[in-house]
Amino acid sequence: MIEARNLTKTFKDKKRGVITAVDHVSFTCRPGQIYGLLGANGAGKTTTLRLLATLLQPSSGTATVAGHDVVSAAQQVRTHVGFLAASTALYARLTAREMITYFGELNGMSATAIKARIKQLSAELDMAEFLDRRCDKFSTGMKQKTSIARTLVHDPAVMIFDEPTLGLDVMTARAIVKFVRECRDRGKTVIYSTHVMSEVEKLCDTIGIIHDGKLCAEGTLAELRAKHAEQDLEEIFVRIVGLEDTK
């Protein structure tokens, strides 16, 4: 389970002073659930995800991931988390298989366990065709599938996806959405950040909308539709964050 409690992150800027990127954010995501985190660019969602993955330390507040505190037990958190960042790069000279193997070894897996896990992930993500090709020859979709496989090779209980379908063609995006849904169905705890509203509607059990670092709305899709008397999630999002052009 993920539980954020008044999670706050500030940065110091020479020109602008103290910037609050995440402002007392609290929410819970349980096993077998997908929590959709929505926000415009600069809203604070990626910073929130990095705090949960222990890539950043909170300025105040805290969070527990799989029962471990992100500050006092960061290493234990990392063993239970797979974090797919939007900007993650691959080692160009390695094949997909070598890439996944390397990350399996970093997570302390045995050669036998890595081999079995690669076989499973290759089948689930349809990677057989390029598994033994070098990463520098890959399409965007191949790179993203490889990034997902290496992120999840140790079969973590908690999965954090930051814009996993960004820049992908329709069929590859559909395959990744299907994979994420299957992870949820296997009892994983999943946080899913995206700008694609249709993905949120298809996948997310609970939706949190973040704006100016604050969690300004939360609920199921049905609850948000009922509260705002609107069926279209994009319209609901725009109303909540106040980006509607009023001219």
Predicted confidence at residue 242, as pLDDT, reads 79
Q: Which of residues 167 and 44 earns the better pLDDT score?
A: 44
Rg (alpha carbons) of the chain, rounded to whole number: 18
Beta-sheet strand order (sheet of 81-84): 81-84, 158-162, 189-193, 33-38, 206-211, 214-219
Predicted confidence at residue 89, as pLDDT, reads 81
- What own/partner pairs with CB < 8 Å and gap ≥ 24 does 57-62 have? 58/7, 58/8, 58/9, 58/22, 59/8, 59/9, 59/10, 60/6, 60/8, 61/4, 61/5, 61/6, 61/7, 61/8, 61/24, 61/25, 61/26, 62/5, 62/6, 62/7
For the stretch 93-140, pLDDT in tens is 999 999 999 999 999 999 999 999 999 999 999 999 999 999 998 998
**What's the whole-number mean pLDDT along residues 243-247?**
47
Predicted confidence at residue 209, as pLDDT, reads 95
Instruction: Delimit the domains of the chain by residue range.
Output: 2-87+157-241
pLDDT bucket at 246, cuts 50 / 70 / 90: very low
Q: What is the CATH T-level fold of the domain 2-87+157-241, as seen in this structure?
A: Rossmann fold (3.40.50)
For the stretch 157-203, pLDDT in tens is 999 999 998 888 898 889 889 999 999 999 999 999 988 888 999 99
